[in-house]
């Protein structure tokens, strides 16, 4: 019987994790299958019960279950506790342990792909949803000097900024109006898009949260949106002369960290990245 791994979400058909995780499992020659399961909220408890079976090593968890799985787990690691969300579950002999590799994946993208260190940097975070929460944790951990959180719904940005302030970083909240966004962007060393603006198959597909004239050429613009690979924001940033980083890197690095938690061996990151990029560029 093959070892079972996978990802749960609702919906789940957009996920490319099965492609690059299976490529990694095949590469190391493990008799294992990584499958996507569409689990509606009312089936979550039942699914997690079966996860305790011996054949399951663990799963990834995506929207909308990252917080909802927590009450069903036996333990949480400190990163998952800090983020208040779980994206990886490890089945340790019937005991379910929650982890969060999103923070690590976000930082690995910066460190490995761009040699960017966050310490003492000024950061503009666009968005205040689940991804922004994980990114803020990473920025706090890395001791940025200032963080501005911009969100369409202002009270969500205010709530997130309050968390940052409590954790000792200079954190401000703003709305998404042109003037205030431009003022915040001009001082930023790093701009991170944690909104869904620019994401394929959404109403804002084709839009960018910032225009080229708002982006300083010295900034690094990190778009967490990975479908498409080259987003409207990445194009706008390139036009402004800024450095850019696409969300595919975070996606693969968080997946590689999950792989290492389940299997205890080094993930073949290059194989995973190639499989992910090939799929997204339609070469697969
Ligand atoms: P989420 O919790 O639903 O948050 C969505 C955010 O986008 C909110 O801040 C929302 O603002 C904002 N937004 C949506 N439509 C908008 C619009 N038309 N104008 C302005 N703001 C808008 O989603 P999430 O889980 O944080 O994910 C956000 C993005 O990050 C997604 O594209 C996801 O694929 C990507 N992501 C990538 C990775 C990766 O590994 N690369 C990991 C996680 C997430 P309101 O609060 O005003 O609604």
Neighbours of 260 (CB within 10 A): 14
Pocket lining: 199 vs ligand 1, CB cutoff 6 Å: yes
Catalytic residue among 49, 55, 66, 95: 66
Sheet with strand 220-223: strands edge to edge: 170-174, 146-150, 122-126, 190-193, 220-223, 243-246
Query: Residue 8 has what pLDDT?
Result: 97
Q: Is the CB of 197 under 6 A from ligand 1?
A: yes
- Give the bridge partners for 99, in sequence order: 88
Q: Is the CB of 130 under 6 A from ligand 1?
A: yes
The reported pLDDT for the residue numbered 26 is 97
pLDDT the model gives residue 284: 56
- Ligand 1 atom, smallest distance to 204 CA: 18
Instruction: With beta carbons less than 8 A apart as the criterion, state whether 283 and 126 touch.
Output: no
Low-confidence ranges of the chain (pLDDT < 70): 283-284
Give the pLDDT score at 54: 85
In the residue annotation, 66 being an active-site residue is answered as yes
In ligand 1, the atom with minimum distance to the C-alpha of 196 is 32
Is the minimum distance from the CB of 225 to ligand 1 under 6 angstroms? yes
Going by C-alpha positions, the residue among 135, 227, 132, 149 that lies closest to residue 184 is 149
Instruction: For each of the domains in the chain, give its residue range(s) and CATH number, in order of start.
Output: 3-99+249-281 (3.40.50.10860), 103-246 (3.40.50.720)
Q: Which of 239, 248, 196 is nearest to 215 (CA)?
A: 239
Atom of ligand 1 nearest to the CA of 203: 18
pLDDT at 158: 98
In this prediction, residue 251 carries a pLDDT of: 98
Long-range contacts of 44-51 (CB under 8 A, 24+ apart): 44/8, 44/68, 44/69, 44/72, 45/72, 47/8, 48/72, 48/89, 48/96, 51/89, 51/91, 51/96
Helix (H) or strand (E) run with residue 182 in it: helix 178-186
Separation of CA 62 from chain center: 10
CA of 160 to the centre of ligand 1 (A): 14
| pLDDT in the model for residue 270 | 98
Q: What pLDDT does residue 245 have?
A: 98
Torsion of CA 221, 194, 185, 205, to 10 degrees: 80
């Amino acid at each position: 019987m093959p070892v079972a791994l996978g990802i749960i979400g609702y919906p789940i058909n957009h996920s490319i994790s099965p492609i690059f995780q299976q490529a990694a499992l095949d590469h190391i020659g493990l008799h294992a299958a990584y499958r996507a399961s569409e689990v509606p909220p009312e089936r979550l408890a039942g699914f997690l019960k079966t996860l305790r079976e011996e054949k399951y090593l663990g799963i990834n968890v995506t929207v909308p279950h990252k917080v909802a799985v927590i009450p069903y787990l036996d333990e949480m690691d400190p990163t998952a506790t800090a983020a208040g969300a779980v994206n990886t579950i490890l089945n340790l002999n019937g005991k379910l342990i929650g982890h969060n590799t999103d923070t690590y994946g976000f930082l690995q993208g910066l460190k490995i792909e761009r040699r960017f260190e966050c310490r003492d940097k000024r950061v503009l975070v666009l968005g205040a949803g689940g991804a922004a929460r994980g990114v803020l944790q990473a920025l706090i951990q890395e001791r940025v000097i200032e963080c501005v959180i911009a969100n369409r719904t202002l009270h969500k940005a205010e709530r997130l900024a309050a968390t940052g302030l409590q954790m000792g970083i200079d954190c401000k909240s703003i709305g998404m109006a042109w003037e205030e966004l431009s003022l915040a962007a001009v001082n930023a060393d790093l701009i991170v898009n944690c909104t869904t603006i620019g994401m394929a198959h959404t109403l804002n597909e084709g839009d960018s949260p910032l225009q080229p004239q708002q982006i300083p050429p010295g900034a690094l613009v990190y778009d967490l949106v990975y479908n498409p690979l080259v987003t409207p924001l990445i194009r706008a940033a390139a036009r402004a002369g800024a450095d850019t980083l696409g969300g595919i890197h975070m996606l693969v690095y968080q997946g590689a960290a999950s792989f290492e938690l389940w299997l205890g061996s080094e993930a073949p990151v290059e194989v995973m990245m190639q499989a992910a990029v090939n799929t997204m560029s339609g070469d697969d």
